Each structure stands twice: as C-alpha cells, then as structure tokens.
Amino acid sequence: MSFSLSRSASRRASRGVVVGTAVAASAVLLLSSCSVANSEPTAGAGSSDTIRIVLSQEPPTLEACESNLTSTGVVMRSNVTEPLVERNPTTGDLDPLLATSWEQTSDTEWTFTLRDDVTFSDGTPFNAEAAAFTIDRAVNSDLACNVEGYVFGDDDLVVNAVDDTTLTVTTVSPDPILPLRLSFIEIVPTSTDATAKVREPIGTGPYVIAQWDTGTKLTLERNDDYWGAAPAYATAEYQWRSEGTVRAAMITSGEADIAMGLGPDDGVGDLGLDYPNNETVALRMTAEIAPLNDIRVREAVNYAIDKSGIIDSLYQGAHIAAAQLVPEGIVGHNADLQPWEFDIDKAKALVAEAKADGVPVDETITIVARNAQFPKVSEMSQVLQEQLTQAGLTVELKMVDTTQHLQYQLRPFVDNEGAIALLIQHGNQAGDAQFSADQYMTTTGAQSVYGTAEFDAMLEAASTKTGAERQAAYEDIFEYQNDEIVQFAFISHQTGTIGKAANVNYTPNSSSGDELRIAEITPAS
Amino acid sequence: MLTFLRRRIVSSALPLLVVVLGVFALARLTGNPASLYLPLNATEQMRADFTEKNGLDNPIWVQMADYFAGVLRLDFGQSLRTGESAAAMALRAFPATLQLAGTTMLLAVVLAVIVGSWAALKPNGIADRISSFVSMAAASVPDFWLAIMGIWVFAITLGWLPTSGVGGLSSWVLPILTLLLRPFGVLVQIVRGAMVSSLSEPYIKLARSKGASEFRVVTRHALRNAAAPALTVAGDLAVGLINGAVVVESIFGWPGIGKLMIDSILQRDFAVLQAAVLLTAISIFILNILIDLGYAGLDARVRPAGKRSKASKAATAVLTEPKEGKRYVQTAP
C-alpha cells in the first residue's frame, strides 16, 4: 500500500528538515576552521630556533616597573628589558650591565657610569636621561609601581643625568645597598608613558615582544640590534598551565622545552632539575599572646619540630633544614648557625617548666597555613600540628586561602584569635638580609609580630654597614634571634624544580624562578 | 512571539540585577584586596593610596552607585590585575567557552539520542543494560580526574593527542570528551526513559501496522514526543557548561570564561568577576528563552497564546458566528 504524505505531514517533514539543517549549520559554524575564538594555535613541534617555555600563570602585565612580580619578571627581566646593574645569583655580587661602574660619591649619593653603545629596540639611544626617567617613573611617580613598594618604600630618589653617560642618584638617608635596589629597575625609553602603566614596553634587551595573544601565548623575538652577545634562540614562546601535572606532561610529551614551578609529585621524572630557590619556610609565633609569650614555649616549639623527618618524608630529602630566615648566598647568611635539633623530651620539659610557673600552656595555639602555597603544604601543616601536640601543647590547624592568609601575615594582624603560629614562606630575592630583617624582625616591621628595642638598635646599626662588617653584623643578628628573641621556628630552605627537555641545555640557579634568562638556555648538541 | 519575548526580557531583568548586586556585595565582603596587589613590604601609605585610588574605601552603596553609573555608560570597570577593561576581558574569553560548550552539548545530545533510542528498543535487553551501566558511570565520574587520566593515557602514554592548549582539531578532543561525559550520561537515561514510554503508546502500534519502517517509527513518531523532556534536561546541562567549564579550562589551558572567573575570584579582581558573571547570566537567560521556544516548537500544547493577526481573527469570526440577520436552520428541501 502506498503511503503518501498528507499536507500537514509534509509540512512537519519540511520543518524537520529545516531543524535538521539548522542544527548541522550551527555545528559547522561552531567548528569553523576548527580554531578557538580569539586565539592562535599553540601546538608546535620543537625547532632548533624556538624555545618553548610553560609558566604556571599568565603574566598579568609586562609593565617594566612591575618586574619584581614573579609572573612578569620571569618573562621580562634581562630578556626584553635590562637594569643598570645585575645581581649574580651564584656569587651574590653585583655585575655591571647597562652601567659599567659605580661608586658612592657621598653619604647619600651614588654615581653611575653608563654604557654608550646601547640602543633601545625602537632605535632611540640609551643614555643617562633614559635611566633617570625610568627611575623617576618607577619610584617617584604616582603610578604605584610594584617595585616601589618592594625595594624603595616611601622615600623618593633624586636622579640627575649629568651627561649622556653619567647618572647620579641621591637618597634621603645613607643607603649602602642602593645599587642592589637599582638592580630591580628595568630601563625603558623616555617615550614610555609616564602617567599610566604600559602593558608591552620597549627595552634594551636581547629580545623584543613580538606578539601577545592574551590568554593563549606570548612570543618574544631576538633583537638583532642587541648590544651584547646574540642568544642562541631566535624565538621564545611562553604558554601557561595552572596544573603542575600538565606542565610536567608537556615536558615528557615533547610539547615544551622548559617548565617552571614543578613539584615532587608532578611526574616529570628524570627530566626535572632541582635547584635552591631562596624560599624559606618557618612558623612565625605571636610572641605577645599566651602561651607563646613565654620564651620557653617558643623554644619548645623549635625542639618539637623534626625538620629532617619532614624533609625526608615529604620532599625526598631535597630541602635543607633551616636555622635562619635566609639561605646560603644571601648577604648576611650565617653559615655557622645550626638548626634547632629535634628533641621531643627537651620540648616536653620546657613546656612542663613553663606550666609549673603558671604559663597557660593549655590555651590553644592555631597553626594557620595557606592552601597550595607550596607543594605538600597541607601535609607539612598536619605534621607540625601533630609534633607540637606531642610536646604537650594544644594545637589546632586552620587552612586558609591567599587573601585570608595575608590578613594574618601583614599589619594590622588578626588579633582576636588567640596565639597563632603562622606558616610563612619567605623568599629573599633581593640578595641582602636587610630586606628580610626589616620586614620580619623589627618591632614595627610589616610582617613582624615581635621585637625588642635592643634588637631594633642592632638591626638599625647593621643596615648602615658595608662589606665584611655588614656580613658580620647580620650574622650576629640571626644568632641573636635564635638565642634571645625566638619569634620563629625555622623549618627548611626549599628547592624548586624545573622541567627541562633533553634537547635543551640549562642550569637553573636561585633566581631562575624570578628571572629566566633565555640567553642562558642553549640547544643541546 | 514578540509579546512572549518582551515579557521574558522584562521578567529576567530583575534576577539579573539581583545576581550582579549579589556578586558585588559578596565579593567585597572578603575584604580589601590591597595586600594581594601590593608587594608584601608595601608601606601603610601605599596601601591607603591603592585603596583610595580604586574606590575601595567608600561605603558599599557608594561603590554600587558608581558601578551602575558606569554600567549605564557601558563601562564595566577595570581589572585590578591587568588594568584592561573588564568587559573586554570577559568578551574576549567568552567565545572560546561558547565554542567548547556548544560543541560538547551538540555531541552529547546526538550521541545520547542514538544510544538512548537504541537502548529503549528492547528494554532490559543487553543493549539497554550496557548503556545503563555506561551512562551511570559517565554521569558519576569527576571531570578533574577524567581530564588528568585522559592526558596521561592519550597524550603521554599513547602520544595520540596533545596534552593541552588550543590548536588544531586534535586539541579539541580531550577537553570535549571530558566535558561531554556527564551530560551524555544523564541524557541517555532521560532519552531512554522517554523513548520507552512513547514507544509503548498506541500510535506507535498504529504506525507499525501501517507498515512504517522501524527507523521511521523511532525517529518521526517516538522521538518527537520524547524530545521535549530531553530538551529541558539538555538545557539545564548546557547552563552548567556555559557557566564556565572551570576545571576543564584550567587543566587544558583553554582561554575561556570559566578560567577567567576562577582567576578573578582568587585574585579578588572585582570588576572582572562582575563582568564575567553578568555575561554568563545574560547568556543563560538567552539560552532559557531558546529552550522555551524550542519546547513550544516541539509541543503545540505549550505554545504561548499571543496576539493573532486581524485576518485570522476575521476568518474565525466568519466561521463561528452566525451571519447578521440570518440564522442557520436546517430547512427541508
């Protein structure tokens, strides 16, 4: 029997055809050219000309005066822009870069002699005027540059371009480490906007910013007019993945040559390189709130922590037990200082002694730690809670996110939750102990919860010294902290891990996390 | 149709407003983000300057008024992190998520219809049991785990696909597969259930007895009636996808709005968060309208009664009302 479609049925059929076509058309449209909206393809096989780097996050900006921010500096510093002087991460000395020499010409004045053979990548010459402009813009202006807060504080600098190759910098008070501070200022031309931050600046470095596909990829290209030695790679491509396991996977599968910020569990295997990254982990104790206001209790906390046990079980022995806030390589590090030994009996005895004297040792101490601050931070916090409890203290654990953690870490501190042992991670990237000491050890330091007038005087005196005297003064300070102040229970100096593909040669150093110099990466032959 | 649209737009404006105000207020309850944006050793003066410059020291209603005044000028504020326009950042990230979510949903629906119908043909048969098991497993698997496993198996071990990133067709496979599984699992169950009940209706027996092929029975007759509940559920699932496949975008480095939202939450980047939420809310509202229209297209019973044209009204009047002066009476010949 034939079955012909009635009129309404055929209308329904044609509607079905229309719907079907619409669906198919939208599918084709969505997959049009199989490209993702607003992005260029990122996948690419390695070539001997291109170095592919994967970071943990996208730089929020490439503004030169924000280069002390790790996510910005890792791309910019000494790649696109350069400072006058540069700190050598291995020796701790200052090396000349855009400045050839410098000297302290008076108590408050330093004079720098600059190179005369450098041009910015846009062709304009580098000279003292550009240097003065950059310092002014970064430190004295209203831009609120990150580097201003990081190394300079509220005081302004007076800069003067005496002639094309001579620059004087005058400080408010005598500053023996001004050149070290200036190593954080990346020089930009006078054509840079002085009233607003610039997302993609121009510099004097061996690379220029070629293209930034926001959200996807950032490409640098070799600057053929660079004044120094030409680097090996013509192009550098940066991508970012927030998951450490994915960054490691990109190395093992050949999609990237260098991966930053890996952890021990990320699965990078033999392709991972460990390096000391200047980060120190410690508990900072509220030494004015009971029961931590008794020095014996704070000493007990130190004795109760099994540092080598933590390092061996959580970090495969890769970290170093710490006795002070800064690791080796930082000016002021005291190499003779021994970490507090692990002695649970001594810890118990100290707590019992304090209890007998009426100290309320049963009052709760809260360990506050930040989620995902470093690999295995939650495990470490739990171990610390357990070990302090074994010493006879009542300890709770509180894990918080970054913003909440900062409320405990910075003035004005959280002061209505009783005694707090804050798990902090401090990285001294500047290279001088003063940056750590001023912050963490003075009575009024932004991250210090305890100090004494005597200690303040020692810190003040040390900051004015230079050379060997300076080194000795800070060594004394770290020893004094452990003997008389005990605001901290130091745990370890950490190591970082970089993934490195076999086709690439690179030796990481303590600055690699903040400043990945592409010129130091070469193809493996 | 237009009345329907107008009414929906008006009734959606209030929820939209509540969403934006809610996000505005809740975000600011987390405190001043100054310490996130300034170096740790920034001075009190710098923090005060930052707070003042970004208007964060004003009372919340002043901040809200400023924000809405800006919105009226189509200025949705600036990112605290990058300095770019918040609206530009949200608009730039959104299409990538739309592509991902749209393709995923399309594939999920098509595959679920095929598998669900096939399972429904013989309820409790082998095909049905297998598809039940597979779909429930798919609906229960956490997408984070699935993504990492997918990368490990297909990218690292087998080397068939890239680990992550955007690029050619191969870089779409893992993100879509990861996102696809849960909606697929849920939809298979829905389609199967709806198909089983519509396949047992009398009109199916009639169609079969008229000699219609099995294919025609399933597609033209049963599926049309099963489509409505499936569409509703699919719409709900699509909303979940549009809401930013946060996990998938973070893991695969997909430059979409989900990743933007989670980053702006963690960074307390208020303006970007508000812009992203607003954009997502608007698109969900549009999607709901489309679902309603589709639903009405499929099922005449739920079509909105709108204004009818004059001609149509006149025709009805002629047909139903007695002519003036005359009465319709059956008269004997």
pLDDT at B319: 59
Using the Cα atoms of residue A478, residue A483, residue A484 and residue A486 in order, give the sign of their dihedral: positive
pLDDT at A26: 58
**A239–B253: do the CB atoms touch at under 8 Å?**
yes
pTM summary value: 0.85
Tokens for A193? 């906007």
Q: Between residues B197 and A201, which one has the greater pLDDT?
A: A201
Task: Name chain B contacts of A27, Cβ cutoff 8 Å.
Answer: 103, 106
Task: Name chain B contacts of A435, Cβ cutoff 8 Å.
Answer: 41
CA distance A71 to chain B (A): 12
**A249–B172: do the CB atoms touch at under 8 Å?**
no
- State the Cα–Cα distance between residues A277 and B299, nearest whole angstrom: 65
Cα A87 vs. chain centroid, distance in angstroms? 15
Kindly identify which residue of chain A lies nearest to residue B163, measuring between CA atoms.
Answer: A250
Write phi, then psi, for A348 (nearest 5 degrees): -60, -40
Instruction: Answer for the pair A122, A180: CB distance below 8 angstroms, yes or no.
Output: no
Q: What is the 3-state secondary structure (H, E, C) of A103-145?
A: EEEECCEEEEEECCCCECCCCCECCHHHHHHHHHHHHHCCCCC
Of the pLDDT bands very low, low, confident and very high (cuts 50, 70, 90), residue A286 is very high
Percent of chain A with pLDDT over 70: 91
- Whether A16 and chain B come into contact, CB under 8 Å, resolves to yes
**Over the stretch B64-82, which tens digit does the pLDDT of each residue have?**
998 988 888 989 999 988 8
* Average pLDDT estimate for A496-506: 94
Say how many C-beta atoms besides its own lie within 10 A of residue A255's C-beta. Answer: 25
* Average pLDDT estimate for A102-116: 94
Residues 6+ apart with CB under 8 A from A506: A258, A273, A498, A500, A520, A521, A522
Task: Name chain A contacts of B156, Cβ cutoff 8 Å.
Answer: 249, 252-253
**Over the stretch B225-282, which tens digit does the pLDDT of each residue have?**
777 788 888 888 888 786 658 889 999 999 999 999 988 988 889 999 999 999 988 9
The answer to whether residue A478 scores a pLDDT higher than 60 is yes
Residues 6+ apart with CB under 8 A from A251: A54, A257, A258, A259, A268, A271, A499, A500, A501
- State the Cα–Cα distance between residues B280 and B291, nearest whole angstrom: 16
- Whether B303 and chain A come into contact, CB under 8 Å, resolves to no
Out of A60, A150, A255, closest to residue B162 by CB = A255
pLDDT at A307: 96
pLDDT at B331: 46
- State the Cα–Cα distance between residues A311 and A54, nearest whole angstrom: 27
- Whether A428 and chain B come into contact, CB under 8 Å, resolves to no
Kindly identify which residue of chain B lies nearest to residue A63, measuring between CA atoms.
Answer: B82
Torsion of CA A473, A479, A483, A484, to 10 degrees: 30
Task: Name chain B contacts of A36, Cβ cutoff 8 Å.
Answer: 96, 99-100, 166, 254-255
pLDDT at B50: 87
CA distances from A492 to A321, A440, A495, B293 (A): 4, 17, 9, 63
Residue that the structure tokens 């050793």 belong to = B41
Tell me the CA end-to-end span of chain A in Å, nearest whole number: 79
Tell which of B36, B106, B166, B218 to mutate to test the A interface (max A CBs under 10 Å): B166
- State the Cα–Cα distance between residues B232 and A152, nearest whole angstrom: 60
DSSP per position, B16-56: HHHHHHHHHHHHHHT--THHHHS-TT--HHHHHHHHHHTTT
Torsion of CA B79, B84, B88, B94, to 10 degrees: -60
Instruction: Answer for the pair A369, A397: CB distance below 8 angstroms, yes or no.
Output: yes
- State the Cα–Cα distance between residues A417 and A400, nearest whole angstrom: 14
- State the Cα–Cα distance between residues A126 and B28, nearest whole angstrom: 45
CA distance B169 to chain A (A): 6
pLDDT at A1: 43
**B253–A240: do the CB atoms touch at under 8 Å?**
yes
- State the Cα–Cα distance between residues B300 and A15, nearest whole angstrom: 14
- State the Cα–Cα distance between residues A349 and A346, nearest whole angstrom: 5
Task: Name chain A contacts of B215, Cβ cutoff 8 Å.
Answer: none
pLDDT at A339: 95
pLDDT at A106: 92
**Kind plus residue range of the DSSP H or E element containing B277:** helix B270-298
- For chain B, give the number of residues: 333
Cα B261 vs. chain centroid, distance in angstroms? 16
The answer to whether residue B7 scores a pLDDT higher than 50 is yes
Tell me the CA end-to-end span of chain B in Å, nearest whole number: 48
Percent of chain B with pLDDT over 70: 89
**A154–B99: do the CB atoms touch at under 8 Å?**
no
Kindly identify which residue of chain B lies nearest to residue A267, measuring between CA atoms.
Answer: B152
pLDDT at A477: 95
Tell which of A10, A30, A172 to mutate to test the B interface (max B CBs under 10 Å): A30
Beta bridge partners of A492: A281, A321
Q: Which of residues 302-321 of A touch B (CB under 8 A)?
A: none
Q: Which of residues 125-144 of A touch B (CB under 8 A)?
A: 144
Tokens for A62? 């490439």
CA distance A57 to chain B (A): 10
Amino acid, res. A105: T
DSSP per position, B48-91: HHHHHHTTTTS-HHHHHHHHHHHHHTT---B-TTT-SBHHHHHH
User: Which range has the worst mean pLDDT, A136-150, A482-496, B314-328?
Assistant: B314-328
Kindly identify which residue of chain A lies nearest to residue B27, measuring between CA atoms.
Answer: A403
Q: Which of residues 144-203 of B touch A (CB under 8 A)?
A: 148, 151-152, 155-156, 159, 162-172
Instruction: Answer for the pair A75, A57: CB distance below 8 angstroms, yes or no.
Output: no
Q: Between residues B256 and A21, which one has the greater pLDDT?
A: B256
The answer to whether residue B24 scores a pLDDT higher than 50 is yes
Best CA proximity match to B247, nearest among B142, B162, B170: B142
